[in-house]
């Protein structure tokens, strides 16, 4: 890859010379699983399962985005309307319908198999995200095979699989993990086409498989998150065309057939939503959601350029230190076809995301596979920087130390419990992180990386599998819903004032009325088996209105918690009517 030798270039398709591997243990596992594609795929499937399942079933609905997506899907299932997207009575025209269809399919299937209360089991709505994350890891392996050896491709998949950001997105019922899958599929197909053209290979009977993957992935990405995938692919194409001064390779993707196929897949729903709501979806999603993020910090998420670079050191951990060590060699190889393609995937889109005012960590996730492949290529060819950047290996130990300290101390402060079950996993994470740091050198880099991956595995098990599910004060909606289920009446109805997060609607029912203190008092006086969920800051208005209308009520229970979306402690009283005077 990084020097004048042809066998060391990205996309050269040649196996580098075998060399003695320093160390045993985890490196021996890597030796074993890279003997065949079947073993490599099975190994990455196992890793994806181990990395993404802790906490998958037990973490309650997360406000706000996850709960909003889940609630909109829940309403689709309840109404049988799979065209319109709504949150209660309001339209939710921020993203297309793709993720809602996938979530609804899982929920409907679970209900059909007899799973009780499937519609309020948040883990069912997370299934597409988890499958998308695992699929993205496998497709990163497939894509990497166009650039590096099988061993390097497995390492690229592991680096992505163990990243902090993908671990979080794999457990959230929203679009980003599935979008990542479609982006990697499209980029992997386009990479094969581009590198074949660069090498001058022109098979007599070109396959339709690669173009079919490319255009189908584009269509799926559009249905998931609109034109974002077109931007990512488009910037890559434009960059390569400018650098190579040729677009001839694009014809190998068969656009004359591919574009109609893409339109056939995406147009039916867009036509259906236009017939249902006119241009409201396009105005809200493109003008109200996408374009507003470019010019302003939507929902207080504005930040200056450079924030993604700073977040990268945590979000891409444990691959981040290695990416820094690989960066000088990658830059030297920028004119080689493989590195040129991966940098065209990475750099232009990263610049755009840095310039956009609204910033969320997940926006740059589709660029992480390119970094993983570049890093794996530098790693397997032993061209990592030996400058001061190698001292960044300490980051393999620093990140789990900082994160686990903050998480465990925070958990103890919130729950007044020592969370002993997390301690063995935390210790294992720190030990593997320490090994990754102390054993790192140019001859044992693979072993250090594998130790860092193991540290990430135990870190996720501790944080997602043990600590987060125990933090009940962070999820007051669960306790409120449990209180309503325990009442002795049929079909309880609720009105909420003060605490109105999407998770509350998801857990207590679509019909939950979101109102103010006065409105909740009026609601409570309109019938039996009604409950008012009153946050302490609105109790005065509720009490004043109740006195004005002669409403008598009592406190069924009171739930204390913390609304992390707003960053404040809350206390919600569940009031039940005793009638009117």
CA distance 120 to 273: 26
Tens-place pLDDT, residues 153-162: 999 999 999 9
Q: How much is the average pLDDT of 474-495? A: 91
pLDDT, the chain, mean: 91
pLDDT at 358 over 70: yes
* Contact present, 216 and 222 (Cβ < 8 Å): no
Residues 397 and 376 in one domain: no
Residues 501 and 546 in one domain: yes
Q: How much is the average pLDDT of 302-315? A: 92
Q: What pLDDT does residue 19 have?
A: 40
Strands in 513-515's sheet, in edge-to-edge order, are: 513-515, 493-497, 530-535, 568-580, 551-563
pLDDT at 216 over 70: yes
Strand partners, 496: 514, 533
Q: How much is the average pLDDT of 232-255? A: 96
Q: How much is the average pLDDT of 315-337? A: 94
Residues 560 and 504 in one domain: yes
- Look at residue 518 and tell me if it is in a domain: yes
Residues 459 and 479 in one domain: no
- 3-class SS string, 406-430: HHHHHHHHHHCCCCCCHHHHHHHHH
The tokens for 13 are 């398709």
Residues 427 and 527 in one domain: no
With cut-offs at 50, 70 and 90, classify the pLDDT of residue 4: very low
Tens-place pLDDT, residues 168-181: 999 999 999 999 99
Q: Looking at 445, 466, 487, which one is the last position of a domain?
A: 466
Tokens 């302003």 locate to: 296
pLDDT at 344 over 90: yes
With cut-offs at 50, 70 and 90, classify the pLDDT of residue 13: very low
Residues in CB range of 466: below 8 A, 6 or more apart: 54, 419, 421, 422, 425
CA distance 23 to 482: 53
Residues 318 and 236 in one domain: yes
The tokens for 327 are 């960066």
More confident residue, 282 or 89: 89
Q: Looking at 352, 380, 408, which one is the last position of a domain?
A: 380
Q: What pLDDT does residue 200 have?
A: 85
Q: What pLDDT does residue 7 have?
A: 40
Q: Which domain holds residue 376?
A: 6-11+20-380
Residue 520 Cα to chain centre, angstroms: 36
Q: What angle do CA 222, 226, 227 make, to 5 degrees?
A: 90
pLDDT at 298 over 80: no
Closest CA to 430 of 411, 448, 404, 412: 404
Tens-place pLDDT, residues 406-449: 999 999 998 888 998 999 999 999 999 998 988 787 667 899 99
- Look at residue 1 and tell me if it is in a domain: no
Number of compact structural domains in the chain = 3
Residues 403 and 368 in one domain: no
Lowest model confidence (mean pLDDT) among 4-13, 223-232, 238-247: 4-13
With cut-offs at 50, 70 and 90, classify the pLDDT of residue 581: low
* Contact present, 369 and 42 (Cβ < 8 Å): no
Q: How much is the average pLDDT of 464-475? A: 95
Q: Looking at 415, 433, 466, which one is the last position of a domain?
A: 466
Residues 200 and 60 in one domain: yes
Lowest model confidence (mean pLDDT) among 318-322, 397-401, 441-445: 441-445
Q: How much is the average pLDDT of 17-45? A: 80
What percentage of the chain exceeds 70 in pLDDT? 91
Residues 458 and 310 in one domain: no
Q: What pLDDT does residue 296 have?
A: 56
Extended strands (E) in 413-567: 493-497, 513-515, 530-535, 551-563
Residues 396 and 372 in one domain: no
């Amino acid at each position: 890859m990084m020097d004048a030798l042809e066998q060391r270039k990205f996309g050269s398709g040649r196996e580098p010379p075998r060399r003695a591997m320093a160390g045993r243990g985890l490196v021996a596992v890597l030796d074993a699983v890279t003997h065949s594609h079947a073993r490599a795929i099975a190994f990455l499937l196992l890793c994806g399962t181990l990395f993404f399942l802790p906490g998958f079933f037990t973490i309650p609905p997360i406000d706000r985005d996850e709960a909003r997506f889940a609630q909109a899907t829940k309403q689709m299932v309840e109404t049988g309307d799979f065209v319109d997207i709504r949150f209660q009575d309001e339209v939710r025209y921020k993203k297309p319908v793709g993720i809602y269809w996938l979530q609804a399919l899982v929920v409907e299937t679970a209900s059909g198999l007899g799973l009780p209360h499937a519609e309020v089991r948040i883990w069912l709505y997370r299934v597409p995200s988890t499958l998308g994350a695992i699929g993205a890891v496998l497709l990163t392996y497939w894509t990497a095979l166009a650039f590096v050896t099988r061993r390097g491709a497995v390492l690229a998949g592991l680096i992505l699989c163990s990243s902090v950001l993908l671990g979080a997105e794999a457990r959230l019922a929203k679009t980003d993990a599935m979008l990542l899958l479609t982006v990697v599929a499209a980029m992997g197909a386009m990479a094969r086409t581009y590198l074949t053209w660069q090498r001058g290979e022109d098979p007599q009977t070109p396959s339709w498989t690669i173009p079919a993957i490319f255009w189908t992935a584009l269509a799926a990405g559009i249905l998931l998150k609109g034109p974002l995938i077109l931007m990512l692919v488009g910037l890559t194409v434009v960059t390569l065309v400018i650098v190579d001064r040729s677009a001839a390779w694009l014809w190998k993707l068969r656009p004359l057939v591919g574009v109609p196929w893409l339109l056939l897949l995406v147009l039916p729903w867009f036509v259906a939503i236009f017939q249902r709501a006119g241009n409201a979806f396009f105005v809200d999603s493109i003008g109200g959601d996408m374009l507003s993020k470019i010019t302003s910090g939507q929902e207080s998420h504005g930040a200056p350029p450079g924030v993604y670079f700073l977040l990268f050191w945590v979000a891409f951990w444990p691959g981040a230190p290695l990416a820094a060590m690989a960066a000088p060699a990658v830059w030297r190889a920028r004119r080689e076809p493989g590195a040129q393609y991966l940098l065209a995937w990475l750099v232009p889109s990263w610049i755009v995301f840095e310039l956009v005012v609204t910033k969320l960590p997940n926006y740059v996730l589709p660029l992480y596979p390119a970094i993983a492949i570049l890093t794996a290529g530098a790693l397997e060819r032993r061209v990592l920087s030996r400058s001061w950047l190698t001292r960044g290996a300490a980051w393999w130990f620093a990140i789990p130390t900082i994160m686990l300290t903050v998480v465990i101390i925070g958990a103890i402060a919130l729950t007044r419990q020592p969370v002993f079950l997390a301690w063995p996993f935390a210790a294992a994470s720190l030990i593997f992180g320490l090994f990754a740091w102390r054993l790192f050198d140019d001859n044992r880099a693979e072993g250090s990386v594998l130790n860092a991956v193991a540290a990430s595995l135990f870190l996720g098990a501790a944080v997602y599998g043990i600590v987060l599910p125990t933090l009940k004060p962070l999820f007051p909606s669960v306790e409120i819903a449990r209180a309503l289920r325990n009442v002795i009446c049929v079909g309880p109805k609720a009105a909420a004032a003060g605490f109105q997060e999407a998770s509350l609607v998801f857990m207590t029912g679509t019909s939950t009325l979101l109102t103010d203190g006065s409105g909740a008092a009026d609601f409570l006086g309109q019938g039996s088996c009604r409950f008012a969920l009153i946050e302490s800051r609105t109790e005065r208005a509720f009490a004043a209105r109740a006195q004005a209308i002669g409403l008598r009520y009592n406190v069924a229970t009171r739930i204390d918690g913390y609304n992390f979306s707003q960053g404040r402690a809350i206390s919600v009283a569940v009031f039940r009517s005793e009638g009117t005077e």
